[in-house]
């Protein structure tokens, strides 16, 4: 980090960095659309009150902070992270698969209906969202706010691989549907083992002769190191005067009569306590977001609960294996498995080093964070969410059975799953690593009483003064569109004035690339050129 982190109290005045460092200027960078005067969120400007507090040092807070600083460079922003380093939970590169989720290979976005039909609607939405992230990252590279793209994103073909007659025919249908979608241009299909072997030899070597297999492949896929990206975004924010507070946890928050939020802080080193006021609060604390939103007392959080799912991966750094597999290959989920447990074999690039990752192997832990307490789940139960949580338990027996099986699965069972992808896999080449916790959203449902939602949910107060993100998939890949949507929800009086600047950062903002093949091709080509990606 380039600036001094401060979290001390001087008398009763909280020290806030007001100094903006220099930043590189490149391309067509300009501050058009941004305010040039002190324009706080409220006429009140008391000592110790900042414009924005971001809770959590992950990709969501980093993305929102980046957008706000581009739109309102004079706003005072503080970031609080309870750990000693940034991006150590869900954004850590070894706590996720690093897939740039664009619906290119994930079958759970295109399930086959009971009548055998397949539609691309969900996959197209996911791809549209990822293009917003790509455009924002490309813009930030152009203006020098992000470094060389290879330090956080790399081209990695995305593939889908299935075996069995029924699955092969399903994949053929899926490919036929996607062939007409502009954002999926260039996707190939093959049921020829020799052809698939040229794409990635590990899938076909020592595979039983005559087994029916099929795969799709598209070269425009990506591997993203969200940990590195998060750190780069925060480093850029620090250069603009945003203050980072590490080892400092928000342990309480309350809404004041003047509309601001009072945050209670606990310094992890020394256990000293302090407070700060903020006009706007974003709770980007991953699995810790639910507890903080419950503490806030906003009625919008009522009825929401969290269902934590843990995970593990098998990883190899054997250079002979890594050299033979340059792709992210997704398969079909087992019966009863949550969408986030779809098996996949991934090329990973972390800190410039390549490896292969297979999994995830799902499990259950009552923790909401990898570094939190076993009491997270029971302590999250309230009278208003108990009914929905019990309803989820009643209606998800297959999921419970699946998770129990995963928890007690032996190493041999895990290797058997790996050999569905790599028939020649040798145990000694692979190590088991623990991934991050994912807290799935449970919420009220008029028909079922409660439902388990495998997605993300943005919770905002009625006055827009506080917002938080619950859920996981597709997560980090869609941080940019989620945060742009949050801006419109929380700052309705400002969004119209911000739109010209947003369109400079995200040219497709407010449109659908999938409705315009020429625009889709142009956007893919432009971002690929800036980010040094295959197109």
The better pLDDT of the pair 410, 38 is held by 410
Q: Does 360 have pLDDT greater than 60?
A: yes
Mean pLDDT of 120-146: 97
- Look-up of token digits 């639910």: 290
In angstroms, how far is CA 203 from the centroid of its own chain?
28
Q: Does 219 have pLDDT greater than 60?
A: yes
Q: Does 1 have pLDDT greater than 60?
A: no
Confidence of residue 338 (pLDDT cuts 50, 70, 90): low
332-335 long-range contacts (CB < 8 A, ≥24 apart) are 332/107, 332/162, 332/167, 333/107, 333/108, 334/402, 335/398, 335/402
C-beta of residue 112 within 8 angstroms of C-beta of residue 74: no
Distance CA 340, CA 447 (A): 25
Q: By percentage, how much of the chain surpasses pLDDT 70?
A: 90
Q: What is the pLDDT of residue 367?
A: 85
Task: Kindly state the tokens that stand for 276.
Answer: 């700060």
Q: What is the pLDDT of residue 377?
A: 85
- List the one residue out of 60, 78, 19, 80 whose CA is nearest residue 239: 19
Confidence of residue 339 (pLDDT cuts 50, 70, 90): low
* Total residues found in the chain within this entry: 535
Peptide bond into 480 cis (omega under 30): no
> What are the chain's domains?
50-531 (3.50.50.60)
Distance CA 364, CA 43 (A): 48
Query: Is 0.85 topped by the overall pTM?
Result: yes
The answer to which of 39-48, 194-203, 350-359, 505-514 has the lowest mean pLDDT is 39-48
As a whole number of Å, the end-to-end CA separation of the chain is 33
The half-sphere exposure of 460 on its side-chain side, counting CA atoms within 13 A, is: 16
Confidence of residue 340 (pLDDT cuts 50, 70, 90): low
Q: What is the pLDDT of residue 337?
A: 67
Q: What is the pLDDT of residue 365?
A: 82
Mean pLDDT of 115-143: 96
Mean pLDDT of 15-42: 34
Antiparallel, parallel or unpaired: β 77-81 and 49-55: parallel
- List the one residue out of 260, 494, 480, 287 whose CA is nearest residue 370: 287
The better pLDDT of the pair 454, 515 is held by 515
Distance CA 60, CA 293 (A): 16
* Average pLDDT across the chain, whole number: 87
The better pLDDT of the pair 532, 340 is held by 532
Please return the burial class of 179, using the count of CB atoms within 10 Å of its CB with bins 0-12, 13-18 and 19+: middle
Mean pLDDT of 135-162: 97
pLDDT digits (tens, 9 = 90+) for 90-102: 888 888 889 999 9
Q: What is the pLDDT of residue 352?
A: 87
- Look-up of token digits 């889709």: 520
Beta strands per DSSP E along 74-218: 77-81, 153-155, 158-163, 188-190, 213-218
């Amino acid at each position: 980090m380039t600036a001094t982190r401060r979290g001390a109290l001087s008398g009763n005045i909280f020290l806030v960095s007001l100094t903006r460092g220099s930043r590189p200027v490149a391309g067509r960078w300009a501050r058009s659309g941004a305010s040039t005067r002190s324009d706080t969120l409220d006429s009140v400007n008391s000592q110790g009150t900042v414009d924005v507090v971001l809770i959590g040092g992950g990709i969501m807070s980093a993305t929102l902070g980046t957008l706000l600083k581009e739109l309102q460079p004079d706003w005072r922003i503080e970031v609080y992270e309870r750990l000693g380093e940034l991006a150590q939970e869900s954004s850590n590169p070894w706590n996720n698969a690093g897939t740039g989720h664009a619906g290119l290979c994930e079958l759970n976005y295109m399930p086959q209906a009971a009548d055998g039909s397949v539609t691309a609607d969900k996959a197209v939405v996911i791809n549209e969202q990822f293009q917003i992230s790509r455009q924002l990252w490309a813009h930030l590279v152009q203006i020098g706010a992000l470094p060389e793209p290879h330090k956080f994103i790399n081209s990695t073909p995305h593939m889908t691989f299935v075996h069995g007659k029924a699955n092969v025919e399903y994949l053929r249908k899926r490919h036929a549907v996607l062939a007409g979608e502009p954002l999926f241009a260039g996707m190939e299909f093959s049921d020829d083992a020799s052809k698939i072997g040229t794409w990635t030899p590990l899938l076909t070597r020592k595979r039983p002769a005559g087994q029916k297999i099929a795969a799709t492949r598209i070269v425009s896929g990506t591997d993203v190191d969200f940990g590195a990206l998060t750190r780069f975004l925060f480093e850029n924010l620090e250069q603009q005067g945003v203050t980072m507070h590490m080892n400092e946890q928000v342990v309480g928050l309350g809404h004041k009569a003047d509309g601001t939020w009072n945050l209670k802080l606990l310094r992890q080193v020394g256990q000293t306590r302090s407070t700060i006021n903020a006009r706007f609060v974003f709770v980007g604390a991953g699995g810790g977001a639910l507890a903080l939103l419950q503490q806030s007392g906003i009625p919008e959080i009522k009825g929401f609960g969290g269902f934590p799912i843990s995970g593990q991966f098998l990883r190899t750094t054997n250079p002979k294996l890594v050299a033979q597999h340059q792709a992210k290959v997704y398969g079909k989920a087992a019966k009863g498995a949550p969408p986030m447990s779809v098996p996949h074999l991934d090329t990973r690039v972390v800190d410039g080093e390549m490896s292969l990752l297979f999994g995830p192997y799902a499990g259950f832990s009552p923790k909401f964070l990898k570094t939190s307490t076993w009491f997270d789940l029971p302590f999250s139960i309230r009278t208003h969410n108990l009914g929905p949580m019990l309803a989820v338990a009643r209606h998800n027996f297959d999921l419970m059975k699946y998770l129990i099986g995963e928890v007690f699965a032996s190493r041999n069972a895990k290797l058997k799953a790996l050999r569905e992808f790599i028939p020649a896999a040798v145990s000694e080449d692979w190590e088991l690593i623990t991934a991050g916790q994912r807290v799935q959203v449970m919420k009220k449902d008029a028909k079922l009483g409660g439902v388990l939602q495998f997605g993300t949910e943005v919770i905002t107060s009625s006055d827009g003064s506080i917002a938080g993100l619950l859920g996981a998939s597709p997560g980090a890949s869609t941080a940019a569109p989620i945060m742009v949507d949050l801006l419109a929800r929380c700052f309705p009086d400002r969004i119209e004035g911000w739109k010209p600047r947003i369109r400079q950062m995200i040219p497709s903002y407010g449109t659908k690339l999938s409705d315009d093949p020429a625009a889709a091709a142009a956007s893919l080509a432009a971002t690929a050129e800036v980010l040094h990606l295959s197109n």
